[in-house]
Amino acid sequence: KKMQNSPDFKDALKKTKAAMDDPNTLAKMQAKIEHMANVGKHELKKQAKDDMAEAMNALYTNPAVMEEAKKLVTDPNFASYIKDMATDPAFKNYVGAMKEMMEDPATKKRLAQMTDSIKASL
């Protein structure tokens, strides 16, 4: 409350209001916000893609991870778990990353091989 009554705070509010009333300043601020949002979205997508690539690599190269994946897939609660994850907004980044990754023929082939390997051992 002290801050709200301080002269510096009141002065900053006046300057902010003046900036918001100026169409040029407002346009610049909006452009900066949009740019920051786009950069953030791109970074989230990139991180999700990197995470998925790392997970796929672990499945492909580490027999212990593959065995754990096989156990997980055969768990009766697995479908419910995936359904719950699908409602998580953070998981949507990973779905988007996978969708892009699946456009790559090499990744598609590698995933098919992993899927076949899991199916063959069940």
pLDDT in tens, the chain (122 residues): 677 788 888 899 898 888 888 889 889 989 999 999 989 888 888 887 888 888 888 988 898 988 888 888 888 888 888 888 888 887 877 777 778 777 888 888 888 888 888 788 77
Q: How far is CA 93 from each of CA 8, 13, 27, 57, 83, rounded to the nearest angstrom?
A: 42, 37, 29, 19, 15
Q: What's the predicted TM-score (pTM) here?
A: 0.57
